[in-house]
Amino acid sequence: MVQDAMTNPALLAPAEGLQGVVADWSSDQRAFKKVPWGKAMMWIFLLSDTFIFTSFLVSYMTVRMSTTVPWPNVSEVFSLTVWGTSVPLLLIAIMTFILISSSGTMAMAVKFGYEKNKKMCAILLAVTAFFGASFVGMQAFEWTKLIMEGVRPWGNPMGAAQFGSSFFMITGFHGFHVSVGVIFLLIVATKVWRGHLDDERPGFLTGQKGSYEMVEIMGLYWHFVDLVWVFIFAFFYLW
């Protein structure tokens, strides 16, 4: 076939009309035949989400560099007092450690999922969800602390008014992603524990029989959420 195409250039010419449309769709179907649609859709979603978070962070950096009012000292704003000593970014460091640790448990859950070890897979998914819920709880505490200190999306007694809007928008949008991830992790963990992925029981997020691909798809989402937090931590809390 290849030799005929090389000797006869007419075979390489694209078909026209309806025949060309059918040929294009057929070639795509063959090219992506072994790509799971769920994983492909997750990658497309993560790509679109990357644009959103990038827009948020670029807007934040633009506002911070262009404002004429002094920007609050984040080391003081996000400090915690422990035994009479103010420790800068203590809560943020704990939150970051918890979220990065959850990436490890998620990766192990995917590993045990493909080994068909549903008990360990479900436990690690539940541990990952626990880490995520802990992160959201600490973020809620952080929000409450700043609100009590007078920080609002439209104002900030500590300096530039844009600090409040940037903080609540970026961390709130990320926290929403973590919260949604926790819910789906618990759903998948329950299905794995009950063996729904093994016997292909009809239902939400069941997938194909004997396939733990849904665990890997959740892993893609969770690793993305963790990676985004690394950028938020670097640009918002360390800069």
Condensed to tens digits (0 to 9), the pLDDT of residues 117-168 reads 989 999 999 999 999 999 999 999 999 999 998 888 888 888 888 899 999 9
- Residue 11 shares a structural domain with residue 114: no
Task: Kindly state the tokens that stand for 223.
Answer: 């690793």
Tell me which long-range contacts 31-40 makes (C-beta under 8 A, separation of at least 24).
Answer: 36/213, 38/207, 38/213, 38/214, 38/217, 39/213, 39/216, 39/217, 39/220
Q: How confident is the model at residue 40 (pLDDT cuts 50, 70, 90)?
A: confident
30 plus 41 within the same structural domain: no
1 vs 118: which has the higher pLDDT = 118
Question: Do 170 and 62 sit in the same domain of this protein?
Answer: yes
What is residue 1's predicted lDDT score, i.e. its pLDDT? 45
Phi then psi dihedrals of residue 2, to 5 deg: -65, -40
Based on the fold, state whether residues 30 and 85 are members of the same structural domain.
no
Tell me whether residue 43 is exposed, middle or buried, using C-beta atoms within 10 angstroms of its C-beta: 0 to 12, 13 to 18, 19 or more: middle
Closest CA to 92 of 38, 135, 49: 135
What's the domain range around 88? 36-237
So what's the pLDDT on residue 130? 97
Same domain? For 22 and 121 the reply is no
Is 20's pLDDT higher than 90? no
Q: Is the pLDDT of residue 237 over 70?
A: yes
pLDDT tops 80 at residue 36: no
CATH assignment of the domain containing 168: 1.20.120.80
- Position 194 scores a pLDDT of 86
Q: Taking 80 as the threshold, does the pLDDT of residue 206 lie above it?
A: no
Q: What share of the chain is helix, strand, coil (3-state, %, to 5)?
A: 75, 5, 25
Give the number of domains in the chain.
2
135 and 166 fall within a common domain: yes
* Residues 1 and 109 occupy one common structural domain: no
Same domain, 42 and 154: yes
Judgement on whether residues 26 and 127 belong to the same structural domain of the protein: no
Residue 38: band (very low, low, confident or very high) from pLDDT cuts 50, 70, 90:
confident
Same domain membership, residue 204 and residue 215: yes
Same-domain status, 51 and 114: yes
Q: What pLDDT, in 10s, does the model give residues 66-123?
A: 988 888 888 888 888 888 888 888 999 999 999 999 999 999 999 999 888 989 999 9
Same-domain check for residues 182 and 164:
yes
H or E element in which residue 144 lies = helix 118-148
| Residue 6 pLDDT exceeds 60 | no
61-70, 162-171, 195-204 — which is least confidently predicted? 195-204
